[in-house]
Amino acid sequence: MSLRTPLAIARNHGSAHDGVHHWWQQRLTAMALVPLLLWLVCAVVSLSQMDYMGAKQWLAEPLNATLSVLLTWVMAIHARLGVQVILEDYVSTRWQEVLLQILTRFIAFAGAAAASLFIVMIAAGR
């Protein structure tokens, strides 16, 4: 017999005991993407009028390099969270879901890390 009420048991816990945390992560990354994507649209418009060297110089500016890396990581996290929900809802075999969740995390991390490395290398002049 539990002394906790049903509401206390259910509060802040989804079926995996982290539903609220996941929901907040998804919403916060979505809110962070709004200004970052607006910056990206402005950047693409300005970059469309530059040649290769101009684009390298543009990316070498610390603010542009930082925002590019930040956009890469926030997009990767947001995409991983979205794919996680899809996998949880539609993959019925537990071992397949776990394997796909691991692959999703690895691909998101590897992609964001590789993109960040390339951005830093271009910004550093390599």
The tens digit of pLDDT for each residue in 33-58 reads: 999 999 999 999 999 999 999 999 99
- The residues near 40 (Cβ < 8 Å, ≥ 6 apart) are 71
Ramachandran quadrant class, 4 (left: phi over 0; alpha: psi -120 to 50; beta: rest): beta
Residue 89 lies in a domain: yes
Residue 2 lies in a domain: no
Residue 6 lies in a domain: no
- The domain in which residue 75 lies consists of 21-123
pLDDT at 14: 55
- What CA–CA distance (Å, rounded) separates 84 from 21? 13
pLDDT at 55: 92
Identify the CATH number of the domain in which residue 110 sits. 1.20.1300.10
In this prediction, residue 19 has a pLDDT band, given cuts at 50, 70 and 90, of confident
The tens digit of pLDDT for each residue in 67-92 reads: 999 999 999 999 999 999 999 999 99
- What CA–CA distance (Å, rounded) separates 27 from 6? 27
Residue 9 lies in a domain: no
Residue 95 lies in a domain: yes
- Total domains in the chain come to 1
Residue 105 lies in a domain: yes
